[in-house]
Amino acid sequence: MTSLPRIVIVGAGFGGLTAARALDGLAIDLTVVDRRNFHLFQPLLYQVATAGLNPSDVAWPVRGILSRQKNARVLLGEVVGIDTDAREVRLDDGRSLPYDWLILATGATHTYFGNDHWARHAPGLKRVDDATLIRRRLLLALEHAENTDDPIARRKLMTFAIVGAGPTGVELAGAIAELSKKVLAHDFRAIDTREVRVVLVEGADRVLLSFPPELSAFALAELQKKGVDVMLNTKVTGCDADGLRFGDGSALDCATVLWAAGVAASPAARWLGVAADRAGRVQVAPNLTVPGQPNIFVIGDTAAVVQDGKPVPGVAPAAKQQGHFVAKAIRAALAGKPAAQAFRYRDFGNLATIGRHSAVIDFGFVRMKGLVAWWLWGIAHVYFLIGARNRMLVATQWFFNYLSYSRAARLIVGSDAADPESR
């Protein structure tokens, strides 16, 4: 085995996993390293947070995905650095993984723009554990509201704020409005969950900034129809256990704040000691290699790729296309053939849902909104899930949720001790 070319992929997200699978069949020694033992279908993670789906509906063990790929092994481990001279990836348990080619696909995390102390009050939504924590906070806030007689405390417990009106923020706001106003409407006795206030806070002058203004306007109207308070042009200047403070000096009392605002790349640039953009992404060459390191590729949310003067968006299709591109480049190099000089992102469309019966899709040449867009959104998301089992389970759950307006995944699990706010 030692004489085979060694390829290490860090990260089993959309980019890393696509690259790994596209390298199947080659005579190589391939290692996929991830901190987690599963691949996460992040576009549906907000549904885990809002009790519509289970974690394992949107996640799939990496070992299971690659179990039949003979040239691949999977390693649960945390990368802490890269020695580009020795060509080794260093893990936190002291081990090193030598590589001939390295693919960094470590994704992104949320950023609080220098206010990291907000994190404990305003969790973001990137990992499965974030989603179960958010679900726990949402449901416990209502339980506590049911248990209190103090109208001010109750008002605060029944106010949920989401910071950032990109696709995740809009999806969360729509789903929480629905959960409280429809799903839970008959469940409580002392409180009326239809009085829950969902506030979506956005610094820009419209929601869904990555979509055309016409679809933003539609999404805004739909959110308002569902009872979401949308605050545009509003800058968050403070966040603590009492709620949010804004740039104009006003404040919002709320027990639960969710963070859907800032995205920052994982520390790949730091590991490599190379230039990063403002969001921490590695500035890669057109062929996705790191300047000066022709055997290191960076893909997905970790890479800053500019095409026709615009950044390639941090979405799953872009990461997958980059995974394919890189695998092809390695195949070409192994075969002694020339590789493609530059990655080209093909935009197949951009979609976001605003809760039951409403979504927006921007295909570029055509724009869709409303009910048909919502059905297309659902079908596309079930289609892109890994594994027939997950597709069937998600379709079954959605079918029941749709018919019954009930959500069984609303279990409060874990302990206060695991919630950073109570430490």
Asked if residue 39 lies in contact with residue 81, where contact means CB atoms within 8 angstroms, the answer is no
List the one residue from 14, 38, 271, 374 that touches its own copies (CB under 8 A).
38
With CA atoms as reference, report the closest residue to 238 among 163, 154, 331.
163
Q: Which is nearer to its own copies, 127 or 381 (CB)?
A: 127
Told to check if 372 binds its own copies by CB under 8 A, we report no
With CA atoms as reference, report the closest residue to 181 among 196, 171, 191.
196
Q: Which is nearer to its own copies, 350 or 401 (CB)?
A: 401
Listed ranges 60-68, 231-239, 273-281, 354-362: which one lies at the site for its own copies (CB under 8 A): 60-68
Q: Which residue has the tokens 């740039």?
A: 247
The tokens of 372 are what? 């048909």
* Angle (deg, nearest 10), helices 14-22 and 316-334: 30
List the one residue from 36, 90, 120, 155 that touches its own copies (CB under 8 A).
36
With CA atoms as reference, report the closest residue to 41 among 22, 21, 57.
57
Told to check if 400 binds its own copies by CB under 8 A, we report yes
Question: Rounded distance, CA 391 to CA 225, Å?
Answer: 30
Told to check if 267 binds its own copies by CB under 8 A, we report no
The count of residues interacting with its own copies (CB under 8 A) is 56
Least distance between its own copies and beta carbon 127 (Å): 9
List the one residue from 5, 21, 26, 63 that touches its own copies (CB under 8 A).
63
List the one residue from 90, 153, 188, 242 that touches its own copies (CB under 8 A).
188
Give Cα separations from 99 to 4, 28, 219, 366 (angstroms). Answer: 11, 11, 47, 45
Q: Which is nearer to its own copies, 85 or 149 (CB)?
A: 149
**Kindly report the CA angle at 298 between 292 and 300, in degrees rounded to 5?**
155
Least distance between its own copies and beta carbon 372 (Å): 27
List the one residue from 224, 237, 250, 404 that touches its own copies (CB under 8 A).
404
The tokens of 303 are what? 């890479």
Residues 6+ apart with CB under 8 A from 214: 367
Told to check if 194 binds its own copies by CB under 8 A, we report no
For residue 218, which phi and psi values (nearest 5 degrees)?
Answer: -65, -45
Active-site amino acid positions: 171
Told to check if 92 binds its own copies by CB under 8 A, we report no
Listed ranges 117-125, 255-263, 338-346, 410-418: which one lies at the site for its own copies (CB under 8 A): 410-418
List the one residue from 14, 41, 46, 60 that touches its own copies (CB under 8 A).
60
Q: Which is nearer to its own copies, 54 or 295 (CB)?
A: 54
Give Cα separations from 157 to 141, 192, 193, 292, 341 (angstroms). Answer: 5, 12, 11, 53, 55
| Region 285-314 residues binding its own copies, contact defined as CB under 8 A | none
Question: Rounded distance, CA 237 to CA 23, Å?
Answer: 47
Told to check if 409 binds its own copies by CB under 8 A, we report yes
Told to check if 387 binds its own copies by CB under 8 A, we report yes
| Region 310-339 residues binding its own copies, contact defined as CB under 8 A | none
Length of the chain as a residue count: 423
Told to check if 17 binds its own copies by CB under 8 A, we report no
Asked if residue 331 lies in contact with residue 26, where contact means CB atoms within 8 angstroms, the answer is yes
Give the interface with its own copies as residue ranges (CB under 8 A).
Answer: 36-38, 54-57, 59-61, 63-64, 67-68, 73-77, 93, 95, 128-129, 132, 139-140, 143, 146-147, 184, 186-190, 387-390, 392-393, 396-397, 400, 404, 406, 408-415, 417-418
